[in-house]
Amino acid sequence: MHNYQNHTVDLSNCDTEPIHLIGRIQPHGFMIVMDATTFQIEQVSRNIQDFIAHAAPDALVGKPIAEICTSSEFPVLQAQLQASTVLNPQLLTLKGRQFFGFLHETEGRLVLECEPYQQTTDEKRFERTYAFSEFQTQLNNKDTLLDQGQLLVDYVQHILNYDRVMLYVFDTDWHGEVIAEKIKPGTHSYLHHHFPSTDIPAPARALLEKKHVRQIPDIGAAAVDLVPYLNPATGKPTDILKSELRNPSEIHLEYLRNMEAFATLSISVMVKGKLWGLITCQHQRPKFINYWMRQTCNLATKAFANAVLASQEMRDISVLEHYKQLEEALVNQVIAAGTITKGLFEGKHNLLDLTTCSGAALFADNELAVTGKVPDREQLMQLLQWLSDTNKERVFYTRELSRQFPAAAAYQHLASGLLALEISKYNKEYILYFKPEIRESVVWAGNPEKPELAKANDKIRPRKSFDKWVEIIKGKSLPWTLNELEITQVLLKDVIAIILRNQAGRLEQLNRNLHNSARSLRRKNERLEDFTHIITHNLRSPISNIQGLYNLYEAEPTHETGAEVMRRMHVVIDNMASTIDDLNAILRAALDQQLSQDTVNIAGLVEKEKQNMEAVLTETGGEILTDFQAPEITMPKVYMESLIHNLLSNAVKYRSPDRKPVVHLKSWQENNTFFLTVSDNGLGINLDRHGQKIFGLFQTFHSHKEAKGLGLYITKMQVESLGGTIAVESEPGQGTTFTVRFDSHPG
């Protein structure tokens, strides 16, 4: 039987193999899958009776977990299963026999795995404790990664006694290299050999990040099935990715056989939570390693990972300090030169001083400056365009530019390595550093491009040859060091600060100019906005009156009616012409940022509005009554005309159908405050409901074909622009009173 019922794996699809759904385990232990709440057994490995007598697997499915232990053992087992903090492993006693128990939860199921418990003598524990203490002491005394790595593989080989122990490190493309190794005499060495990323595909790497210790004691051992294969509660295979015993991928087992490795143990090297490398142990005969020894080597690997992290974070302080002094001198040079380009390229120091690069370029203010060995101008401009279009990082660096930007292959001898510092993506402004190509030899364990093709079933199988195979790598530069990355980012910040400082004077002056003109521009815009509303709103009434006079003549087209209509229309047209003249005056004044102050006669404006409204007043029998105790006010005439027009037209427009419209206008003055009220007996407004939005734009409160929701908004805007206030009192069905107040001469 294969690992999957309906899935076949070879090298063509191993990168997507669902290894978490393998339904078989290795035979050195047994597995039980149970409901996490009821502890009812749902699946069990077929070999359970090899470890617990009279525990037939088919009979256990559907039974409670108590079936695998005695009545006295069950309370302890139940407490271990229900514990909020799961300890792995735990010492379990089942039918009088002790086991290492490994427990984890997956998709609402509990997976319990057991392997026989092995007692360790005090002598062995003391011996391993001492050896581990010595290992840590020596690890702290090693200065280089290679020395630390060699110490680790020596220690692991001493503890486990495998034929081969390797420290396998991943690169950025997930290819691996053996950088340290400990082997027994007669065992083939893979030291400094490289392995392609396909040897450890993505699903396997994901597993290694979650399950740090993985053992295969015997690659030839017959795998043990879970009974049943599909979980009866879910109808699908159970996810056992975190399992200790899960059977390995068939592709991986074949790969190990091709390497003549019959027992393996791997330990993940995790640095900052990411898979950095592996301790890979191989033996030419089956070999089981108990939990104590596995855990000892795992702790040693974690100590090594901490040392790796410390090494990665270390800096060459003297070199970095030298770079900082050069960077400071370069910045002072830029300040003295007055321009970025002169300061970075024409003084005692230049951009090349801050790195081990062979060329540098700057594109700023639409000018390109270069020093050292760099691509030509056209190539540089194409590179800048690519960076601007595709790069999302402020600092971009690579040692293999042509791999990401194929056009760079034409000049990889000059610029295989690129460090790009973004000043402005929008303007394609960058500082560029270049490193030339180096040729390096990579020793592979066999040709990674030539997997074997199995003739029997035409499936692509793992390669069988791991002989030394040398490849010449082209198109790569020396890597960018941490010091280079750090000091150039400091330079970038300083250059941007200088650019901003150079612009600060101009920006400050511009801000002053903007501040000085903002108020007058804002006032002009307000006047122009007023003009827009006035011209559209104030002309509607006379145009409507003309329409009404035309309708009057059309209803009675006699000579007398025509003469009367023409007389009235002449008055309306004269008023329209006067209004247009006033509007032109306010437009000119707004453009000049000034409004003339006029002595406005209130009665004259009301009379003009009555003439414009004559048709509707005649039709409805409406009256407009006045009491002007303060007959004049000094303000822009067109504003007061618009105010009276809006309030009077609204009073007549929203009249009650039960009575003729009567409107009262009154003005008076108290000390330096001018008041004007307009009261009507119309429909009124429900202020409890509409009071908060009565002066809002496009707000209407009654159904009327001419209702636009502009009049009151314009009125309030104009009154407030002149420093006044407007208030309203109203009762539904009774009428409305608007009160306008100006505390001094508006304008």
Question: Has residue 453 been placed in a domain?
Answer: no
Map residue 740 onto helix, strand or coil.
strand
Give the type of residue at 54.
Answer: H
Q: How many domains does the chain have?
A: 4
* Residues 27 and 51 reside in one and the same domain: yes
Confidence check: pLDDT of 469 > 60: no
Residue 143 has a CB neighbour count (10 Å cut-off) of 9
Confidence check: pLDDT of 191 > 60: yes
Query: What integer pLDDT is reported at residue 11 of this predicted model?
Result: 46
Query: What integer pLDDT is reported at residue 60 of this predicted model?
Result: 93
* Residues 702 and 738 reside in one and the same domain: yes
Query: What integer pLDDT is reported at residue 149 of this predicted model?
Result: 93
Residue 693 maps to which CATH number? 3.30.565.10
Whole-prediction pTM: 0.54
Question: Has residue 688 been placed in a domain?
Answer: yes
Question: Has residue 471 been placed in a domain?
Answer: no
Map residue 214 onto helix, strand or coil.
strand
The total number of residues written for the chain in this structure: 747
* Residues 191 and 131 reside in one and the same domain: yes
Show the tokens assigned to 736: 């409305």
Residue 211 maps to which CATH number? 3.30.450.40
Query: What integer pLDDT is reported at residue 236 of this predicted model?
Result: 87
* Residues 351 and 493 reside in one and the same domain: yes
Range 586-605 average pLDDT: 69
Question: Has residue 511 been placed in a domain?
Answer: no
Show the tokens assigned to 560: 């007398």
Residue 416 maps to which CATH number? 3.30.450.270
Contact in structure between 436 and 415 (CB atoms under 8 Å): yes
* Residues 95 and 31 reside in one and the same domain: yes
**What is 370-418 written as a DSSP string?**
EEES---HHHHHHHHHHHHHH---SEEEES-HHHHSGGGGGGHHHHSEE
111 to 33, 36, 101, 239: CA distances (angstroms):
5, 9, 10, 9
User: Going by C-beta distance under 8 Å and a sequence separation of 6 or more, which residues neighbour residue 725?
Assistant: 719, 740, 741
Range 158-185 average pLDDT: 91
Question: Has residue 90 been placed in a domain?
Answer: yes
- As a whole number of angstroms, the distance between CA 588 and CA 116 comes to 100
User: Going by C-beta distance under 8 Å and a sequence separation of 6 or more, which residues neighbour residue 298?
Assistant: 212, 213, 267
The packing angle between helices 482-538 and 637-653, to 10°, is 70
Strand partners, 433: 360, 419
* Residues 270 and 333 reside in one and the same domain: no
* Residues 287 and 343 reside in one and the same domain: no
User: Going by C-beta distance under 8 Å and a sequence separation of 6 or more, which residues neighbour residue 95?
Assistant: 52, 53, 55, 68, 69, 70, 73
**Looking at 116, 134, 167, which one is the last position of a domain?**
116
| Cα 710 versus chain centre, distance | 44
**Looking at 116, 132, 149, which one is the last position of a domain?**
116
* Residues 302 and 324 reside in one and the same domain: no
* Residues 109 and 258 reside in one and the same domain: no
* Residues 339 and 294 reside in one and the same domain: no
For residue range 223-248, what is the model confidence (pLDDT) as tens digits? 898 999 888 988 888 888 888 898 88
Question: Has residue 470 been placed in a domain?
Answer: no
676 to 530, 630, 727: CA distances (angstroms):
21, 9, 11
Contact in structure between 220 and 262 (CB atoms under 8 Å): yes
Q: What is the DSSP letter of 187?
A: P
Query: What integer pLDDT is reported at residue 212 of this predicted model?
Result: 92
How confident is the prediction for the chain on average, in pLDDT? 82
Residue 737 domain boundaries: 595-742
For residue range 516-570, what is the model confidence (pLDDT) as tens digits? 666 656 666 665 665 666 566 566 667 777 777 777 777 777 877 777 778 777 7
640 to 643, 697, 716: CA distances (angstroms):
5, 20, 12
Confidence check: pLDDT of 390 > 80: yes
Question: Has residue 534 been placed in a domain?
Answer: no
Backbone angles phi, psi at 660, to 5 degrees: -75, 150
Residue 73 maps to which CATH number? 3.30.450.20
* Residues 287 and 149 reside in one and the same domain: yes
Cis amide leading into 89 (omega within 30): yes
Confidence check: pLDDT of 683 > 60: yes
Quote the radius of gyration of the chain (alpha carbons, Å). 45
* Residues 129 and 261 reside in one and the same domain: yes
